[in-house]
Amino acid sequence: MTGSPVVRMRGIRKRFLDVVANDGIDFDLHPGEVCALLGENGAGKTTLMNILFGLLPPDAGTLEVWGEPVAFRSPREAIARGIGMVHQHFTLVPPHTVLENIVVGTPSRGPWLDAASARARLQALARLHGLDVDPDAPVWQLSVGEQQRVEIVKALYRGARILILDEPTAVLTPPEARGLFKALRSLAGEGRAVVFISHKLREVMEVTDRVVVLRGGRVVAIRQTAATDPQELARLMVGREVHTPARRPRPGAGPPVLEVEELAVDNDRGLTALERVSFAVHAGEIFGLAGVSGNGQGELAEAIFGLRRARRGRIRVGGAELTNRPAGEVVARRVARVPEDRIGVGLLMELSLAENLILEAYRDPRFRRGPFLLSSAVAGFADRLLADYRVRAPHRAVPAKTLSGGNLQKLLLARALAREPVLLVAHQPTRGLDVAATEEVHARLLELRERGVAVLLISEDLDEVLALSDRIGVLYEGRLMGVVPAEAARVEELGLMMAGVGGPEGPRA
Amino acid sequence: MITLRLERRHPLPLWQQAILPLLSVLAALGLCALLVLWAGADLLRAYAALFAGALGSRFAILETFVKTAPLTLTGLAVALAFRAKFWNIGAEGQLYAGATAATWFGLTFTETPAWLLLPMLLVGSFLAGGLWALVPGLLKARLKVDDVVTTLLMNYIMLYLVSALVDGPWREPVSQWPQSPDIVEAAQLPILLERSRFHLGIPLAFVSAGLVWLLLARTPLGYAIKAVGVNPRAAEFGGIRTTRVVAVTALLSGGLAGLAGAGELAGIQFHLMEAISPGYGYSGIVVAMLGGLHPLGVVLAAFFFGVVNNGAQHMSRVTGVPTYLVEVMQGVTLLAMLAALLLNEYRLRWARR
Amino acid sequence: MELLSVAFFVGLLAATLRMATPLLFATMGELLTERAGVLNLGIEGTMLLGAMAGYLVTYKTGSLWLGLLGALLTGALLGLLMAFMAVTLGVSQHVSGLGITLLATGLSLYIYRMVIGAPSVPPSIRPFQILAIPALAQLPVIGPILFQQYLLVWVALALVPSTSLLLFRTSLGLKIRTVGENPKAAEVAGVSVYGIRYLCLMVGGALMALGGAFLSTAHFNMFLFGMVAGRGWISIALVVFGNWRPGKCLAGALFFGGLDALQLRLQAVGFQAVPYQFFLVLPYILTIVALVSVSRRAAYPGSLLLPYKRGEA
C-alpha cells in the first residue's frame, strides 16, 4: 500500500430527518489497499460510501478523487471517475442476462447493442480476477455468490479503479467468502483501491490492510490490520466492553411444542424450496436454524406463519394440527411471529403505533362494544405494551414510520408476545439493528426460554445462532443438513453444512 | 446552477394538513385565471359571478346543495375505495347502475305506497351499484387484475346498457325520445323545501358521510380497510382476509355511488336517460382527493365543487367564460392537491450546486 | 352486399387496419412509457387533446402536417407534465394520470369552445386522403387492404417493428428496460433514471396524441367531444394483453379494430337482430375478459407504479 490518497473526504456531514448519519467524517483511501470500513449497524458506513458513489449529496464537506475536487450529482459522474460500488442488496435485473446487466448504460459505438465485443471484453476481465460468469445466463438462475461476481464484473467493466463493497459476505457461504477475498487481493494487487464495509470482525482481520472504525457517525479510530485484534476492534466499534451473554444451562427441555414433519414447500416460482424437513422445538429451548438466506428459511417461516401452502407434510403446535391453516388461526394458537421483513410484511408504517399493536388482536371481544371498536381498551393495551417493551416514542398515536429500526423491532416483539405465546418463531430478528438493540432482543429471547416458551430462531448470523441456541440445525437448498446440540457445535462443521457438505443429509466432504 | 430539492421531513401537524386542500384550490383558481383572461373577461368579475351564481340567492344555495349531494356520495365512494387502495374509477358506471335500478323500481311497483317503495328503491340502488363494483373488486382481489382499467371499462359497459334500455324496452312511448317514462310518484323522493329542488336524498347524502366516518374510525371493518390499504402484505400477515375486505369495500363503495344515481333519478330527473350524470363519478375522484380521503373533507370538497358547478352557468352568462372552465378546474385541482400533499412529507430546499 | 362475399372481407380487413391505427399509436406510446416503469393514465385525455389540437391547427393554418405537428407537441407537453408529477415529484401515478386526463379533457372542450364557438354544425376540415401505392395497390385482395391506406396507417404499422427494434436491439432500449425493471440497478450502472423516464413519457405522449389526431384529421374530418370513446383505456389493456411486447400488442389492436369495423358494417347492412349497442360494448367486455385471461402470466415491468427517488432505498 503506497502512494498518495486516491480519495480524500473531509468533514462529511449528512443528516436524515432526526438522525445524523455522518457527523464530520474524514476518510482517505490509498491505491493498492483493501481498507475496511467497520462499524455496527447504523454507524454511517453505507451512507458515507453512497456519498462517495454519487447516490447522495453531502450536507457539508469536501470530496477529492484522484487529487481533483468533485461534487457528484449522480452515480454516473462517480463511475466516470473510476468509482464502482457493489451494494448489500443487489442491483441486478433478474429477467435480464448477465451480459445485459453488465453492459447497460456503458458507452457504445452507435445505437445498436454490440453483444459480441462486449462478451469478449467481459470474459477477459472476469477471468483475470477469477470471477467466472456466464454472460448469457439470465440472472435469476444464478446463485447469490454468482450474482455477486456479476456485480463486481459490472463495476470493473466500467473501469472502476476504486471498488466499494457493502457487507459482501452477508450472503455468502464460508467457501464463497474465501473466493471473494482472493479476488479482492488480486484487484488490490493491480493497484486498485478496495473499500470493504463490514461489521464482521473475523473477515476484516482476514482480508484487509487497514481498518477505519465508525461509531455514531464519526471516525473513532484508524488501525493497521496487522497491528490490532478482534477484541480491540469490537471495543472501538461499540464503545465499551462487549460481552457474550452468559448462557444459563438449559432448564430442562419440556415436551415438543412445534413439530414439523416431512414438510415440503414451494417458492413463488413453483420450484421446491423445502424438501422433507422434519424437526421439533421443545418448551424452554431455543432451536437455532442456521444457513445462508435463500435456502428455504423464508418459505419455512411463511409456512409456519400461515402465509404459504405446504405441499406435503405436517406442522403441529401444542399437538394441534396447523398445516395450511390461515394466519388468524396460527395466531389464535398462541404462536408469536416475527417476520424477516419487518417493514414490508410486519408493520403498517403509515398507521399509528396503537393501530399496529392491535393488528393480530383487533377482533378480540375485549376491544369491542357492539359493532364498534373500543378505543379506550385499545389505548390501554397499547400504552401497556409500549411501556413493558420500552419502545421509545412520544405517544401511541404517532405513525410507525417515525420510529427507528430498533424500536420498530421492539414494537413487533411487543405485538407478537402480547398473547403469552407458547411458541416464538423469529426470522432474522436482529438484522440491521445496532449492538444495543441486538442485545435487548437477545435478552428477550433468553428470558422467554427461561419461562418455558419454545423458540425457533432462524438466522443467517452464525455467531448469533451459536450464542443463543440449545440445538442448531442447518438448512441448505431446502434440506435440513443436520441437527447438533450447541455444546458440540463447531463453526467449521456448521460452515460446511451451510455450503452443502457433511451432516446426515449431505455428501461426505 | 440552482436546483430545487425535496428533503424529507416529519409529517405536518393536523391543522396544517387541513390547509393543503385550501392551497390546492387557490392554486387551481390561480392557474385557471389564465383561461379566464384569455376569454377576455375581468378576473374578479368572473370569479365573483361564479360564487354569486351559486350562493347569491336562496334558490341558488339550495341548487348548490342539489349538486353537492351526488358529489358527496361519489366522493365518499371513491374515498372509501382509495383507502383500501381499490382504485375505483368506476363510480360513474356504478351511479348509472343505481339509477337504472331505481328506474326499475319506479316503473314496476306502481301500486306500492311510498313508505315502502322508497326504502326498497334506495336499498336496490345501493345493491346495484355495489354489485357493479364487486365484479372488478373480486377480479382484483382474487386474480390481481388491474382495477383501474376494469372499473373504467365497466363504466362504458353500463353506459351502453342504459343506452340500449332507453332506446328499446324503456323508451318513452309517447314522445319516442331516448329516455324512460317518468317513475311513479310514490317512488319520487319528496321535496323538503318549497320552491326548490332540495329533496330527501340531500340530507341522506350527509348522513352517509357520517356513517362512513363511523365505519372507518370506529369499527373493526374500518380498521381492516385501513390496514389493507396501507400494507396488504402486513394485513394478510396479521390474519386479515384481504380478499374479503377488498370485496366488501368494493360493495360499499359501489353502493354509495349507486345511491348517488338513485338520488339523481328519484330526486331530480325522474326518468332514466343517457345524460343523467354530467360526470359526477369522475368528479368524485377529485372530491375524494381534495377531501384527503376523509369523510368530512369529502363533504367540504363536494360543497366546493357544488358551488363551482352551479355557478358556472351564471358566470358564463355574465362574462362569456365557457362553462368548461369547471372541467379544467377539476383537473388542475387534482394535480395541485397531489403536489400539495407532498409538502406533508417533504420540505422544499433551494440549493446552489 | 353479401355478408360472406370476398368484397365484404376485403373491405372489412382494410377498415380493420384503419380502426386499429389510433389504438396502435396509443398502445405503442403507453408500452414505451410502461417499459420505463410508469403507468400513464393520462392517455385518454392526451388522445382527446391531441385530436383537438390536430384538428384546430389544421383548421387555422390549412396544413394537415402542421396539425400533426401540433398534436405531437401537445402530447409531448402532456407527457412532460406527467413526468414532472410522477417522476420528479414522485406522487401517485394513478391519480396524477387521471388528473391529466381530466385536465386535458377540460382543455379540449374549453379551447375548442373559445376558438370555434358553438355552431350548430361543427366545421370540418379537408382530411387526409387515402393513398394508393402504384402497382401494389392493384394486387388482388391484399392490394386494397395493405396498399390503399392513409399514410398514418402505414406509419402506425411501421411503429410496431421499430419499437421492437428499439427496445431489444439498441442500447437505449436496454436502458429503458433496465429502468423499468429495477431503477436502482439502472442508476448504479450509470443510467439517468429520471432522464429515461422523461424521454419515454414525452415520446409516448406524442404518440398517444398522434393517435387522437388520426381520428380528427383522417378518419373523421372534425372534432367531436366523444371522439376517443375509451380507446385510451383499451390501449392500456392492450399493453397488458400483449405482455409488453409490440408484436402481441399489434395482434390485440387488430382484433379490436376488426371488431369495430365489423360492428359498423353490420349496422350498415341492417343487421337488426341485436341492438347496435351490443357491438359497441363488445370491445369493452372482451378487454376485461382478455385482462382476466392474462392475469396469471402478466410479466409486469418490475418497477411499474413505484416512484423512484435517487438515494432512497
- A312 and A376 fall within a common domain: no
Quick check: is A211 in a domain?
yes
Between the CA of residue C242 and those of A304, B97, B152, C298, what are the distances in Å? Answer: 38, 31, 19, 9
Give the contacts of A102 (CB within 8 A, at least 6 positions apart).
A118, A122, A135, A150, A153, A154, A157
Candidate from C170, C189, C299 with C-beta closest to A154: C189
Residues of C in contact with A350 (CB under 8 A): none
How many residue pairs from chains B and C have C-beta atoms closer than 8 A? 134
What is the C-alpha separation between A427 and B237, in angstroms, rounded?
14
Alpha helices in chain B (DSSP H): 14-17, 19-38, 43-55, 58-83, 91-108, 114-143, 147-167, 201-218, 220-230, 232-237, 242-264, 280-290, 295-319, 325-342
- A22 and A98 fall within a common domain: yes
Best of C277, C285, C292, C309 to disrupt the B interface by mutation (most B CBs within 10 Å)? C277
Question: Do C177 and A96 count as a contact with CB atoms less than 8 A apart?
Answer: yes
- A145 and A270 fall within a common domain: no
- A119 and A164 fall within a common domain: yes
What is the C-alpha separation between A471 and A339, in angstroms, rounded?
21
> Which domains are present in chain C?
6-118+144-294 (1.10.3470)
Minimal-distance CA residue of chain A relative to C309: A55
pLDDT digits (tens, 9 = 90+) for A442-467: 999 999 998 999 999 999 888 889 88
pLDDT digits (tens, 9 = 90+) for A246-288: 666 665 678 999 999 999 999 887 888 999 999 999 999 999 9
Quick check: is B353 in a domain?
no
What is the C-alpha separation between B319 and B345, in angstroms, rounded?
40
Q: Which amino acid is at A235?
A: R
* Position A237 confidence tier, pLDDT thresholds 50, 70, 90: confident
Instruction: Calculate what percentage of chain A has a pLDDT beyond 70.
Output: 95
Minimal-distance CA residue of chain C relative to B38: C114
Buried b / exposed e along C59-87 (16+ C-beta atoms within 10 A):
beeeebeebbbbbbbbbbbbbebbbbbbb
Measured at the CA of C209, the angle between CA C203 and CA C213, to 5 degrees, comes to 140
Residues in chain C: 313
Q: Considering only CA atoms, which of C143, C117, C139, C182 is closest in space to residue C313?
A: C182
Give the contacts of A450 (CB within 8 A, at least 6 positions apart).
A248, A251, A284
pLDDT, chain A, mean: 89
Radius of gyration (C-alpha) of chain C in whole angstroms: 20
Q: What is the 3-state secondary structure (H, E, C) of A421-481?
A: CCEEEEECCCCCCCHHHHHHHHHHHHHHHHCCCEEEEECCCHHHHHHHCCEEEEEECCEEE
Q: How many of the other CB atoms lie within 10 Å of CB of B212?
A: 26
- A153 and A211 fall within a common domain: yes
Structural domain containing residue A175: 7-238
Q: Which residue has the cell 382484483?
A: B140
Chains within contact range of chain B (3+ C-beta pairs < 8 Å): A, C
pLDDT at residue number B2: 59
DSSP-derived letter for residue C230 is T
Question: Do C190 and A76 count as a contact with CB atoms less than 8 A apart?
Answer: yes
- A65 and A165 fall within a common domain: yes
pLDDT at residue number A448: 93
Structural domain containing residue B334: 18-343
What is the C-alpha separation between A304 and A317, in angstroms, rounded?
9
The SS3 of residue A263 is strand
The SS3 of residue B341 is helix
Whether A428 and A374 have beta carbons less than 8 Å apart is answered as no
Q: Considering only CA atoms, which of A281, A300, A337, A328 is closest in space to residue A456?
A: A281
Asked whether residue B285 carries a pLDDT value surpassing 70, the answer given is yes
The SS3 of residue C268 is helix
DSSP A290-344: E--TTSSHHHHHHHHHTSS-EEEEEEEETTEE-TT--HHHHHHTTEEEE-S-III
CA distance C188 to chain A (A): 6
Whether A497 and A474 have beta carbons less than 8 Å apart is answered as yes
pLDDT at residue number A507: 45
What is the C-alpha separation between A267 and A265, in angstroms, rounded?
7
Of the ranges A15-19, A155-159, A315-319, C199-203, which is most confident? C199-203
Quick check: is B253 in a domain?
yes
Q: Which of B353 and B332 is assigned the larger pLDDT?
A: B332
CA distance C128 to chain B (A): 30
Quick check: is A222 in a domain?
yes
What is the C-alpha separation between A104 and C127, in angstroms, rounded?
44
Residues of B in contact with C241 (CB under 8 A): none
- A266 and A123 fall within a common domain: no
pLDDT at residue number C140: 81
- State the Cα torsion B338-B340-B343-B346 to the nearest 10°: 40
Minimal-distance CA residue of chain B relative to C237: B149
Quick check: is B352 in a domain?
no
What is the C-alpha separation between A367 and C87, in angstroms, rounded?
43
pLDDT digits (tens, 9 = 90+) for A358-409: 999 998 889 999 899 999 999 999 999 999 998 988 899 999 988 888 899 9
Question: Do C192 and A112 count as a contact with CB atoms less than 8 A apart?
Answer: no
- A175 and A269 fall within a common domain: no
What is the C-alpha separation between B185 and A224, in angstroms, rounded?
94
Residues of B in contact with A327 (CB under 8 A): 236-239
- A11 and A145 fall within a common domain: yes
Domain tally for chain A?
Answer: 3
Quick check: is A158 in a domain?
yes
Whether B101 and B127 have beta carbons less than 8 Å apart is answered as yes
Quick check: is B13 in a domain?
no
- B→A interface, C-beta within 8 Å: 8-11, 218-220, 222-224, 226-227, 230-231, 233-241, 353
Domain tally for chain B?
Answer: 1
What is the C-alpha separation between B317 and C6, in angstroms, rounded?
57
What is the C-alpha separation between A455 and A463, in angstroms, rounded?
17
- A→B interface, C-beta within 8 Å: 16-18, 57, 71, 73, 305-307, 326-331, 337, 339, 344-351, 355, 358-360, 362-363, 368, 371-373, 375, 399, 402
Give the contacts of B252 (CB within 8 A, at least 6 positions apart).
B80, B130, B215
Residue A238 exposure: Cα atoms within 13 Å on the Cβ side: 19
Q: What is the 3-state secondary structure (H, E, C) of A78-145?
A: HHHCCEEEECCCCCCCCCCEHHHHHHCCCCCCCCECCHHHHHHHHHHHHHHCCCCCCCCCEHHHCCHH
Residues of C in contact with A95 (CB under 8 A): 181, 299, 302
- Which of the listed residues A208, A238, A268 is the one where a domain comes to its end? A238
- Which of the listed residues A391, A414, A437 is the one where a domain comes to its end? A414
pLDDT, chain B, mean: 92
The SS3 of residue B87 is coil
Asked whether residue A482 carries a pLDDT value surpassing 60, the answer given is yes
Q: Considering only CA atoms, which of A146, A159, A40, A56 is closest in space to residue A94?
A: A146
CATH code at B320?
A: 1.10.3470
N-to-C CA span, chain C: 64
- A184 and A207 fall within a common domain: yes
DSSP-derived letter for residue B191 is B
Question: Do B8 and A16 count as a contact with CB atoms less than 8 A apart?
Answer: yes
Minimal-distance CA residue of chain C relative to A84: C188
pLDDT at residue number C266: 80
Q: Which grid cell is B165? A: 334500455
* CA A233 remoteness from chain centre: 21
Quick check: is A1 in a domain?
no
- Which of the listed residues A414, A436, A461 is the one where a domain comes to its end? A414
CATH code at A424?
A: 3.40.50.300
Do the strands A19-29 and A7-16 form a parallel or antiparallel pair, or are they unpaired?
antiparallel
pLDDT digits (tens, 9 = 90+) for A295-322: 899 999 999 999 999 999 999 999 899 9
Give the contacts of A158 (CB within 8 A, at least 6 positions apart).
A79, A84, A106, C189, C190
pLDDT digits (tens, 9 = 90+) for B289-333: 999 999 999 999 999 999 999 999 999 999 989 999 999 999 999
Measured at the CA of A247, the angle between CA A242 and CA A252, to 5 degrees, comes to 165
Tell me if chain C has a CB within 8 Å of the CB of B279: no
Residues of A in contact with C176 (CB under 8 A): none
pLDDT digits (tens, 9 = 90+) for B222-252: 999 999 999 999 999 999 999 999 999 999 9
User: Rounded to the nearest 5°, which phi and psi values hold at C269?
Assistant: -75, -15
pLDDT at residue number B330: 93
Whether B99 and B265 have beta carbons less than 8 Å apart is answered as yes
Tell me if chain A has a CB within 8 Å of the CB of C298: no
Whether B160 and B166 have beta carbons less than 8 Å apart is answered as no
- A→C interface, C-beta within 8 Å: 50, 53, 55-56, 74-76, 79-80, 85, 87, 91-96, 100-101, 103-106, 108, 111-113, 154, 158
Q: Which grid cell is A54? A: 454519487
Quick check: is B348 in a domain?
no
Whether C11 and C179 have beta carbons less than 8 Å apart is answered as no
Q: Tell if the pTM clears 0.80, that is, is over it.
A: yes
- A47 and A191 fall within a common domain: yes
How many residue pairs from chains A and B have C-beta atoms closer than 8 A? 79
Q: Which grid cell is A438? A: 441486538
Q: Considering only CA atoms, which of B226, B36, B84 is closest in space to residue A348?
A: B226
Question: Do A76 and C184 count as a contact with CB atoms less than 8 A apart?
Answer: no
Q: Which of A143 and B262 is assigned the larger pLDDT?
A: B262
pLDDT at residue number A13: 95
- A162 and A220 fall within a common domain: yes
Measured at the CA of C259, the angle between CA C255 and CA C260, to 5 degrees, comes to 120
Give the contacts of A487 (CB within 8 A, at least 6 positions apart).
none
Best of C188, C191, C196, C245 to disrupt the A interface by mutation (most A CBs within 10 Å)? C188
pLDDT along chain C (313 residues), means of 10: 73 93 97 95 97 95 94 98 94 93 96 90 88 84 86 95 96 95 92 95 98 94 90 91 92 90 81 78 86 75 70 46
Q: Which grid cell is B28? A: 387551481
* Position A234 confidence tier, pLDDT thresholds 50, 70, 90: confident
Q: Which strands form A34-38's sheet, in the order they lie side by side?
A: A83-86, A162-166, A193-198, A34-38, A210-215, A218-224
